[in-house]
Structure formats: C-alpha cells, structure tokens
Amino acid sequence: MPACRTRQDCQHFFIKTGSRGGAFALTRGFGGSILLQRLLIVVALFIAPILASAQTKYSAERAPVVFTIGGAYSFFDAAYGGYKVMGAAAYTDLSPLVWDHVAVEGEGRWLMLNGPNGFSEYNYLAGPVYHFTISEHRRFHPYAKGLIGVGIVEFPNHLAVGRYFVVAPGGGLDYALDSRWRFRADYEYQIWPQAPGIPGDTQAAMKPDGVTIGFTYRMF
C-alpha cells in the first residue's frame, strides 16, 4: 500500500481498489481528529475569559500589601527576683504574608529601667501575626501572635550576661485613629526555657510577661 499524504489520496486509493470499508474507516479517522482539534479550540476560547475574569476578581479583592512601623513603652514582670522592669519597644509589621489576615511581625524591646543593681532585659523577636476582622467595629483590630527569637539578660551587679532562646505567644488590639495612625495595646507572655542557667539557681525557666502601649504608623 502506498503512503497516504492526504485524505483525498487515501480515499482515491481505497475507491480504486474497491475497499469501501477501509475508505470509510480512514475518512472517519481524519474527520475525528479535525473535530477534536476544533472542539479543543472552542473549549479553550470559552475557558480563557472565565479564568482571566477569576484572576482579575481575586487580584481586586486581595488586600494590598501594608507595611507598618511602631514605637511603644513596655512594662514587664522580669520573672527574676521579683523585678519589675520597663523600657522602650519598637516593631514592624508586613501584611498580608500568606492569607489576607496573616502578617509577619518583628519587634525589639529594651527593658533597662527600674531594674535594681543594673538588671535589664532585652528581646528581639519575630513571627506570624493573625489579624481578626470585626465588621461591626471597623476601628478595632484585634490580633494574636506567636513569636520566637532571642532574649538577653544582664544580671544584677554585673554578675553575668545571658543569651537565651525565647518563645512568645501574645495578642492585642489596634484602634484606628485615622487611615494611617493606630493606638496599640499589647500583651505578651514569654518563655525562656534555658534561663537563667546560673549554677546554683534552681529556676527551671524564666517566664517574663507584660504589656506594651504605643502607636503604629502605616508607611504604605
């Protein structure tokens, strides 16, 4: 059998040889292929605008990226010797991170005041923050957070300086003053599992906790 380059060639061959069944089968094969291609084209043309519309709708509904900075003042129970310490704090917030309500936050806290004999605590933490939405009260923006990082202690009388791993769950409330400024009240419970680590000190872990009050400013 000679090679068929076109459907007409193959039909001519089978008609010439009297093989009408073969001519019908081969013609049906070519026709099915063309029909399938046309069907795929129609489906693609139908689906493409739907996908484009869905993507546009998602992009329009997705919350814009927001970068916020803040300054505050902290009051903490140092969980060492009954000391109550206080000092400045600063933080940044970038959202959304993954979903519209999830942000990433970094904070620093310098508790250098009111600690006797030179005692002070510092911590540098970061982690995810979940922002809740209250539709009835648009000015109120509660949140929950789970941070990790490092905590530093300067023990009294320059006894030692310790650096420890810290886990810090917490939460708070932002109150919108306008489109950029917010008042923030925050509570944080810290766990320093390896502190204080001083020979002869039987404390299994330090667990400082406290409140922070300040303001945030939305950069963009």
Q: Alpha carbon of 92 to those of 28, 71, 150, 174, 190: distances in Å?
A: 68, 9, 17, 14, 19
Q: Does residue 1 lie in a domain region?
A: no
Q: How many domains does the chain have?
A: 2
The two counts, helices (H) then strands (E), for the chain are 2, 8
| Cβ atoms within 10 Å, residue 106 | 15
Specify whether 154 is located in the same domain as 81: yes
- Residue 88 reports pLDDT greater than 60: yes
Higher pLDDT, residue 13 or 43: 43
Do 83 and 192 sit in the same domain of this protein?
yes
> Quick one: average pLDDT of 138-146?
93
- Which domain range does residue 152 map to? 66-218
The mean predicted confidence, pLDDT, of the chain is 79
- Residue 135 shares a structural domain with residue 30: no
Helix, strand and coil percent figures for the chain, each rounded to 5? 25, 45, 25
Write phi, then psi, for 80 (nearest 5 degrees): -150, 120
Considering the domain architecture, whether residues 35 and 126 belong to the same structural domain is answered as no
User: Are residues 27 and 85 located together in one domain of the fold?
Assistant: no
148 and 166 Cβ atoms separated by less than 8 Å: yes
- Residues 171 and 123 reside in one and the same domain: yes
The pairs formed by 124-130 with CB atoms below 8 angstroms and a separation of 24 or more are: 124/149, 124/150, 125/149, 125/150, 125/166, 125/168, 127/168, 128/97, 128/102, 128/103, 128/104, 129/93, 129/95, 129/102, 129/103, 129/104, 129/105, 130/101, 130/102, 130/103
pLDDT of residue 100: 72
**Residue 4: per-residue pLDDT:** 47
Q: For position 125, what pLDDT does the model report?
A: 97
Cα separation, 22 vs 6, whole angstroms: 15
Q: Which of 28, 44, 61 is the last residue of a domain?
A: 61
| Nearest by Cα to 144 from 179, 120, 161, 168 | 168
pTM here is 0.68
- How far apart are alpha carbons 65 and 98 in whole angstroms? 11
What is the per-residue pLDDT across 19-35, written as a single tens digit (0 to 9) for each? 433 333 333 344 445 65
